[in-house]
Structure 1
Amino acid sequence: MKLLHIDSSILGDHSVSRMLSAEAVARLASERDDVVVTYRDLAADPIQHLSGAYLGALQNADAQHSEAMRADLATGAAVLEEFLAADTIVIGVAFYNYTVPSQLKAWIDRVLVAGQTFRYTSEGKLEGLAGGKRVILTVARGGFYGADTPLAGVEHGETYMRAALGFVGIHDPEVVVAEGIATGPDARTTAIETAKTHIATLTA
């Protein structure tokens, strides 16, 4: 099984989403002996945000490109290939200012590629091309943004990831959430333990 592990938090060892994504990967790897993990740390090795020059270069691959553009094109190709090759994808989803980190958005922009992970049919309908993949999101939120909370309407992290994944045909991601982790030590401990209990039920 090819497993792609993505982390997006800028908090390093202090990150709850990283802790939980690592635990989820370890859990899946313990379930079978054929797991091959590819890891990408979007904070330590950020992907450039999309530019008009990059999109133009994609349309003109035979042109003479600068060294920087060739490197950016190579990164985009590698990111897409990692995604396409993976059977299972575990994504540590940090939550900043109501949404995902810009580093994770940059990764999404290299994965949502027309003709590769989605297409429009001749009738104009959207068709996702990556629907056979399993995706596990480990989401960490400082406050409380669940469906039954007053801040549910401004939760644009998990909801964004669900929409982006649905765009490429992945409609049922498994979501592990630890929230309220910034509201006090007891709440943080409870949130993490609850999330770990959920992870312990994952099967490969």
Structure 2
Amino acid sequence: MPAARSQEQIVARLREVHADGKDLLAGQEEALLPALDFDHARPFLPSTVRRNRWRQQRDHESRARTYQVLAISEILNHRAAQARHAVAALAELAWLLGRDDVTAAMDTAGWLSCGAPRVKAFTDGFGWRFADTVEDLESRHMLIRMAAGQRCHPDGCRRGCADRHPASGQRGAAPTPRTPAHPKRRSTPPPSKNA
């Protein structure tokens, strides 16, 4: 079993996260900061946080399982920003657990479909269940397609995906033929007032 990270390694990682400025939704910090004891966390905490109120979290596996459920929920609901936050936290939790192989697989998986391929790489790396954690059969199939980098629905997205899909080369999924993309839009521009 890989060794968990030391307090000094976590502090260095947190400084690196702050320095690169890419943790816009704070998912990485949210995963890393609670792993620190108060003395190591103090430089990253607001001055109002006191020692007696700080609770270091050591069970990274339980936290990762919670973030996995959250990430899948956000992916299925097409909440890209929230999914990105949860997926970033998952990657840092894999790092905290000493699983550089899992973080590398997640990095390779890419961000298609709200990060579903990354969550799949995470669960595969840990040998955890993935799609069968979803009870609804349609949602389960949707998650499997998204994890493969495909559109959520074979006929196109009905929920407003904004991911780039290789099949279309366009942002978002094309509307189904039965449902116009913008039913209230005119097909021709309105007449000019000067005409």
* Global fold match (TM > 0.5): no
The interval holding the TM-score normalised by the smaller chain is 0.3 to 0.5
More helix by share: 2
Q: Which has the larger radius of gyration?
A: 2
